[in-house]
Structure 1
Amino acid sequence: MRAFNIPKKKFNTSSYTRFVKPLQKIFHSIPLLESRGYRPLKMTFEDQLQALIFFHLQEHESARDLIQHLEEDDFAKECIAPSGGISRSSFSEIINSRGLKQLEYVFQSLCTQAQNVLPSKHSDLGELVSIDGSLIDAVLSMYWADYRKGAKKAKGHFGFDINRKIPVKIYLTEGNGAERPFVRSILSEGQTGIMDRGYQSHKNFDLLQDENKHFVCRIKTKTTKTILEEHTVDPNSYIFYDAMVLLGTPGVNQTQKPVRVVGYNIAGVKYFVATDRYDLTAEQIATVYKLRWDIETFFKWWKKHLKVYHLIARSTYGLMVQIFAGLITYLLMAIYCHEQFKEPVSIKRIRQLRNNIQNELRACGKNTQSDNRIVKEQTLYAKT
């Protein structure tokens, strides 16, 4: 049985051990990464995973930055880098061609762990998944990342567990890739997808109901509604509309199955939301749609503090490797912050983790240096 070896070498960093503990529970079952030829791997999957987690944990902004850290930082050199080190060219080759299957397995396994560990909020509203896309700036040499003339972008299509505040699904396309086709793949039976107007699709509304997958989706104000049944609303409430309708133009794009439409007014802005959730009040439907913004908060934090969109790979394969690594790091942070502090993820606790690793490294050095030499202070490359 394989084990996730932390620490790999001589330094004992209990903080880092606690941080990666969830990996130890699943590492024995990860699909084996084998050499494609006679030469042994320069970087095992364990090495690759640790290097990528370290990249995000320390907020590195380039592969060059990471490789320098692996060569010069005592902790990184002894506990993260592969034996004998790794060159930037070899690291780039590995990221763009190996480990994707294994990283996807780790991500899915950590999602399951996190969902069993983290508290579930809004359970009275059901299993809620916010669905949205996020553009990733690319370079012109990334020919596959079509967006518009003179610009290249990729797009990640994400499913975000609102109840536990964690990402649970990811698909990658070129920047102008359609978002609607991924909704049914992101949702599981019984879950409710929360989406903005860009996801309005009358065909999807029918298909989702056939598959017992629910939705709360904002629709365009001028969408044609054929009323089947109107529900009474309180004239003093911010809810001004609640009805069962057929959406769309008859004979053109009308839904085959009825949907519920709730209209409400917030700060002078009128919202119309289509749903198949008849078990919730109109006010609860409005609350569910408001929770969609949690995925925007996640995107903002994830991009700012984990540097996930600072490219270290340019191929579709390599970019997925990088994104999975960023998601894995976030899940480890979510589990760590909850188990150690009963708190959600915060940059304060991540900075504290970095500092603890450095303090434990210095203490380890003082205890092992027979000539009482001062252990040189580590240089952290994170700009926080």
Structure 2
Amino acid sequence: MNKSKKFSGQPIIKQLLSFINNQNIYRTAEHYKSDRYTKRFTTYEHLVTMIFSVLSGCSSLREVTSIMLACEGKLSHLGIKHFPKRSTLADANKRRSSQVFGAIYYQLYSLYKGVLSDSRTKQEAIEGLQIIDSTTITLFSDILKGAGRNPMAGKKKGGIKMHTIINAMEDVPSLVKFSSAATHDHTFLKDLKLKKGSYVVFDKGYTDYQQYEQWGLDEIYFVTRQKENAIYTSIEEFDLDEKTDDAILKDEKISLMKKDGTTFALRRIAYWHEKHKKVYEFITNNFELSADKIAEIYKNRWQIETMFKRLKQNFPLKYFLGDTQNAIEIQIWISLIVQLLLLVVQRKAERKWAYANMVSVIRYHLMTYINLFKFLKNPDSEWEYLTTKLPVQLSLFYG
């Protein structure tokens, strides 16, 4: 009998793990000393276990270990020598630094960012445009301080805020920082290391006049919305030519006042959003680009909102396998790693798939021995083979 090209000697999860270089993991573990004092459950085994957990949609330590126990005969494919007990996984999530998983994420990002680059976005985005935003993940514990006022009744939920930068030509974070939900967004700007000539866009929650002024000196350009309570005076109004979009209501140079009473110059653009029926006021330190282009740059912010939505919908960050900040950060890093790996698969697949649909199919067939890319190319044909011809062939041996 001829060997079928449809069948694979490895389950789908192993094919996904093949995008990760084992040797790089070992070197990273050595650099961070994350396997020091560890006899059995190594960084690599921890990584694979957590990836399995996220892909399987597990909501508890018991669920992770129970499912892995059911697949124990296939775990050798994953490079796991020792089956993790609940206590082992819980202890590793508590004690092994989340930094090592962050480093693994950045390695994978550097390796695959060329694959992740969207050609359609390339045509629209300004080269070097960075998009900044944050999302808050609610925690039903006091691990991190919650945001907002204390409720009249009950207990305020804690939360972890994930500050993120993505390159407009890509679709995954290039930088991630964690803080409590109560931490003001603008503190994140001071951690950025932007190159001269870079463009950065963010919401008004990141308002920091001191940073804006410094970026002007460093020739780093930003676009954001103006706060309602901003104090400014108009210095010069620029003419709007016939080519300017009718949605641009005003383009002017302003003098913006800081808390200490000193002022500095910025550009203000008033833009009418027809769908929302409201005026948006953008400010920037760039006086060269057209007003239309400045408005377009701000519209690029939707990309990061889409990324957050995709992450939360496909890898719900509602149930955590640990109650420490370190354990929570590990699970978020793993979710980011899985999101990145599956985006690589989506980009490489010959057939166009909606991301959520592809994730569902892969999640269902995680331990199925079938060629992933052949399956994604023609799932109906492959599924027919799995459900009809394959059982008949197996019956020749086991019937």
TM-score class, shorter: 0.7 to 0.9
Maintained 8 Å contact 2:256/2:266: yes
**Residue of structure 2 in register with 1:226 after alignment:** 233
Matches within 5 A, 1:323-362: 323-341=332-350, 346-360=355-369
Change in CA separation of 1:119 and 1:133 when aligned onto 2, cut-off 3 Å: closer
Instruction: Give the Cα–Cα distance (whole angstroms) in 2 for the partners of residues 186 and 22 of structure 1.
Output: 29
Matches within 5 A, 1:1-384: 12-13=9-10, 15-24=12-21, 26-27=24-25, 29-32=27-30, 33=33, 35-37=35-37, 40-74=38-72, 77-80=75-78, 82-120=80-118, 121-122=121-122, 124-142=125-143, 144-147=144-147, 148-149=149-150, 150-151=155-156, 152-186=158-192, 188-189=194-195, 190-234=197-241, 237-248=246-257, 252=261, 254-255=263-264, 258-267=265-274, 268-341=277-350, 346-360=355-369, 372-373=397-398
What CA deviation, in whole Å up to 9, does each residue of 1:121-147 have, x standing for no partner? Answer: 2455222222122111112352x4343
SS of 1:86's equivalent in the other structure is coil
Maintained 8 Å contact 1:248/1:254: yes
Instruction: Give the Cα–Cα distance (whole angstroms) in 2 for the partners of residues 313 and 125 of structure 1.
Output: 41
SS of 1:216's equivalent in the other structure is strand
What CA deviation, in whole Å up to 9, does each residue of 1:245-265 have, x standing for no partner? Answer: 22226952633xx22221100
SS of 1:168's equivalent in the other structure is strand
Instruction: Give the Cα–Cα distance (whole angstroms) in 1 for the partners of residues 198 and 178 of structure 2.
Output: 22
What CA deviation, in whole Å up to 9, does each residue of 1:122-180 have, x standing for no partner? Answer: 455222222122111112352x4343542222211111222211112111111201110
Unaligned runs of 5+ in 2: 1-7, 371-385
Task: Please give the root-mean-square deviation of Cα atoms over the aligned residues, in Å.
Answer: 3.1
Unaligned runs of 5+ in 1: 1-10, 375-384
How many residues align? The count is 358
Maintained 8 Å contact 1:195/1:217: yes
Instruction: Give the Cα–Cα distance (whole angstroms) in 2 for the partners of residues 250 and 77 of structure 1.
Output: 60
Maintained 8 Å contact 1:227/1:246: yes
Instruction: Give the Cα–Cα distance (whole angstroms) in 1 for the partners of residues 259 and 104 of structure 2.
Output: 47
Deviation at 1:289, TM superposition (A): 0.9
Deviation at 1:274, TM superposition (A): 1.1
Change in CA separation of 1:27 and 1:153 when aligned onto 2, cut-off 3 Å: closer
Using the size of structure 2 for normalisation, the TM-score is: 0.79
Deviation at 1:266, TM superposition (A): 0.6
Instruction: Give the Cα–Cα distance (whole angstroms) in 1 for the partners of residues 97 and 79 of structure 2.
Output: 16
SS of 1:111's equivalent in the other structure is helix
Instruction: Give the Cα–Cα distance (whole angstroms) in 1 for the partners of residues 140 and 395 of structure 2.
Output: 51
Instruction: Give the Cα–Cα distance (whole angstroms) in 1 for the partners of residues 85 and 393 of structure 2.
Output: 30
Tell me the percent identity. 18
Deviation at 1:332, TM superposition (A): 0.9
Maintained 8 Å contact 1:337/1:343: yes
AA partner of residue 165 (structure 2): G
Which contiguous aligned blocks of 4+ residues in structure 1 show a shift greater than 6 angstroms?
Answer: 365-371
Tell me which moved more, 211-220 or 163-172: 211-220
Tell me which moved more, 45-54 or 122-131: 122-131
Change in CA separation of 1:354 and 1:264 when aligned onto 2, cut-off 3 Å: same
Change in CA separation of 1:194 and 1:49 when aligned onto 2, cut-off 3 Å: same
Instruction: Give the Cα–Cα distance (whole angstroms) in 1 for the partners of residues 231 and 217 of structure 2.
Output: 22
Change in CA separation of 1:273 and 1:110 when aligned onto 2, cut-off 3 Å: same
Using the size of structure 1 for normalisation, the TM-score is: 0.82
SS of 1:140's equivalent in the other structure is coil
Instruction: Give the Cα–Cα distance (whole angstroms) in 1 for the partners of residues 394 and 321 of structure 2.
Output: 37
